[in-house]
Amino acid sequence: MTDIWPDHLFLVGCGNMAGQMLARWLACGIDPARVIVLRPSGKAVADGVRVITDYPTALPAGTTVLLGMKPYQLADVAASLAPLCGADMRIFSILAGTPLADLRAALPAAGEIVRAMPNLPVGIGEGVTALYADAAVPPASRQVVEVFIAPLGLAEWIADEGQFNEVTALSGCGPAFLFRFIDAFARAGEALGLPADQAARMALATVRGSASMAALASESPAVLADRVASPGGMTRQGLNVLDADDRLLKLLTDTLAAARDRGEEMARGE
């Protein structure tokens, strides 16, 4: 793979999401020697990756910084990180509910700041990362960002930061909702009398195959569903249950709205 990596990558925190991103980048060829992870626990991350427990006295010019800690820790982190930032540094923030204005206020000397909201499948290169930046990040830099994010899966720029919580509810939170669906799908098969382990295997394989088919198809998932359903057949009868009064649509809309609203509460510090 062509060298698409920043010369230096500094992670502040390496929890579940940041850890998935780093694992994928490492698997795709970033040199571990370029990576430093700040982790108060000092717990190792990966072979060759340096882990430190306190902030360095300086960061190399052109360092890319990934903010991967908890959002409520921003003020404490900024107190130590801000003096290390320069105009030649790019900041990636995966802090949910933390708007760009707050990031700029906390890190005023930083150059380009990009809000990013990945989801867990980034760890296997099949994730979605929503991106937002202001005019301080020019088109050329956005292309660099896209290339850096590409190993993680789909990258989508968001034009309106006000919609970031909606996007996060859909793709950021989405894997958890789909995991819950797969579990419920399997348990429904069990409720009909199938052995639990068999129902679980079949449900997962059905979801995986259907998602792959939808990704390759030229038609929308709605059209694909109707093509599977023969008039008067078993599939159509089941779809009638899901479609009655838009019950599935309403359930999922309520689910995403609840996640979105929590993001807005977090942005207000609640």
Amino acid at 188: A
**CB neighbour burial string for 9-33, b if at least 16 within 10 angstroms, e if fewer:** bbbbbbeebbbbbbbbbbeeebebe
Q: Nearest-CA neighbor of 63 among 144, 23, 6?
A: 6
248 phi-psi bin (left φ>0, alpha ψ -120 to 50, beta other):
alpha
pLDDT at 205: 98
pLDDT band, residue 264 (cuts 50/70/90): confident
Question: What would you report as the CA-atom Rg of the chain, rounded to the nearest whole angstrom?
Answer: 21
Q: Give the whole-number percent of the chain exceeding pLDDT 90.
A: 89
Query: Where in the chain are the domains?
Result: 9-161, 174-267
**CB neighbour burial string for 68-95, b if at least 16 within 10 angstroms, e if fewer:** bbebeebeebbeebeebbeeebbbbbbb
Q: Nearest-CA neighbor of 24 among 151, 187, 159?
A: 151
Is 106 in contact with 74 (CB distance < 8 Å)? Answer: yes
pLDDT at 266: 80
Whether the pLDDT of residue 259 is over 50: the answer is yes
pLDDT at 52: 96
Q: Give the whole-number percent of the chain exceeding pLDDT 70.
A: 99
pLDDT at 97: 83
Residues 137-165 have a mean pLDDT of: 94
pLDDT band, residue 157 (cuts 50/70/90): very high
Residues 174-190 have a mean pLDDT of: 97
pLDDT tens string 42-97: 999 999 999 999 999 999 998 999 999 998 899 999 999 999 999 999 999 999 88
Residues 108-132 have a mean pLDDT of: 95
pLDDT at 1: 46
| Overall fold of domain 9-161 | Rossmann fold (3.40.50)
Give the list of residues 6+ apart from residue 228 with CB closer than 8 angstroms, or none: 235
pLDDT tens string 33-43: 999 999 999 99
* Global pTM value: 0.88
Q: How far apart are CA 160 and CA 248, in angstroms?
A: 28
Residues 216-226 have a mean pLDDT of: 95
SS3 of 96, please? coil
Is 98 in contact with 267 (CB distance < 8 Å)? Answer: yes
Token code pair at residue 263: 């993001």
pLDDT at 149: 96
Q: How far apart are CA 85 and CA 79, in angstroms?
A: 11
1 compared with 134, residue with greater pLDDT: 134
Q: Maximum distance among all alpha carbons in the chain?
A: 71
| Overall fold of domain 174-267 | ProC C-terminal domain-like fold (1.10.3730)
Q: How far apart are CA 123 and CA 27, in angstroms?
A: 9
Residues 227-255 have a mean pLDDT of: 95
Q: CB pairs under 8 A, 24+ apart, for 39-43?
A: 39/13, 39/14
pLDDT band, residue 255 (cuts 50/70/90): very high
Tokens 């698409």 map to which residue?
A: 4
pLDDT at 2: 58
Whether the pLDDT of residue 207 is over 50: the answer is yes
Question: Are β-strands 112-118 and 127-132 bridged in parallel, bridged antiparallel, or unpaired?
Answer: antiparallel
Is 191 in contact with 200 (CB distance < 8 Å)? Answer: no
- Whole-number mean pLDDT of the chain? 94
Instruction: Please provide the size of the chain in residues.
Output: 270
Whether the pLDDT of residue 267 is over 90: the answer is no
